[in-house]
Chain A
Amino acid sequence: KNEVEQSPQNLTAQEGEFITINCSYSVGISALHWLQQHPGGGIVSLFMLSSGKKKHGRLIATINIQEKHSSLHITASHPRDSAVYICAVRWGGSEKLVFGKGMKLTVNP
C-alpha cells in the first residue's frame, strides 16, 4: 500500500468547472508538496504546505493535518490545466519526498 494516496486517478472535466484533487497520507508529515506534470513530461512545483491554505491564481491548496489530507482546487478550469497532478510528502527529519501516483486531469473545451 502506497503511503500517499491520490484520488481520483483520472478526471475529465469541462472548461470552467471547479475541480478538486485529493491526497491522503498515512502518518504525520513535515510538509506536503503539490506538483504539476505537463503532457510533455516537464514537472513544476505548485505549492508546499505544512498547514492551512495557499492560493496562487486559480489554484488553491489546503491541508488538514489532523485528518492527514490535502486538497488541490482549480477554479474556472481551462484546457491548459490538463496535466498530471502529483502530491508528495516529507516526514520530519528526512529530506526524502514520497510521491503519490498522480491524478491525470483532462479539461475539455
Chain B
Amino acid sequence: DSGVTQTPKHLITATGQRVTLRCSPRSGDLSVYWYQQSLDQGLQFLIQYYNGEERAKGNILERFSAQQFPDLHSELNLSSLELGDSALYFCASSVWGGDDTQYFGPGTRLTVL
C-alpha cells in the first residue's frame, strides 16, 4: 500500500459526459501528479500540482482540468468524454517534486462507451 488513495476504482460512462477523479496523497506529500495510461500510448504525464499551485503541464487536453485543494487532495475533471479517453488514470505523490520518489495510487479505470 503506497498510502495514495484514488476514487473511484472503476468508472463507466457515456461519450459526452463529465467525470471527476479524486486523489488523496500520502500524508506530508506536497506534490501530486496525474498520469494517463492507455493501451496504445503507454503512460503519459498530464499535470503536476505542488502545494495547491500548478507546477508542470504535460499532454493534458483542454477538456481536462485539475486542481489541488488546501487539504492537498486533488481532483482531475474530464469533460466532453470521447471513446479515446478510456484509460487508466494514475495519481502519484511525492514530498517536494523533482526526482523525489513518486508513490502511485492504485489508479482509476475509466471506460467511455
Q: Report A's interface with B, CB cutoff 8 A.
A: 30-31, 33, 41-45, 48, 50, 86, 88, 90, 94-102
**Taking the complex as formed, is B107 at the interface, i.e. its CB lies under 8 A from any CB of chain A?**
yes
| B101-A94 in contact (CB<8A) | no
A95-B55, A95-B56, A96-B58 given; A43·B104 CB < 8 A: yes
Per-position binary interface string of chain B over residues 1-28, scored 1 when its CB falls under 8 Å from any chain A CB and 0 otherwise: 0100000000000000000000000000
Chain B residues positioned under 8 Å from A95 (CB to CB)? 48, 55-56, 97-98
Q: In the bound complex, do residue A94 and residue B56 qualify as a contact, i.e. CB atoms below 8 Å apart?
A: yes
Interface size of B in residues (CB-CB distance below 8 Å): 22
Minimum CB–CB distance from B38 to chain A (whole Å) comes to: 11
Which single member of B56, B92, B99, B107 contacts A96 (CB below 8 Å)? B56
User: Could you tell me if B43 and A86 are in contact, using CB atoms closer than 8 angstroms?
Assistant: yes
Q: A94-B56, A97-B45, A102-B42 are in contact. Are A41 and B99 (CB under 8 A)?
A: no
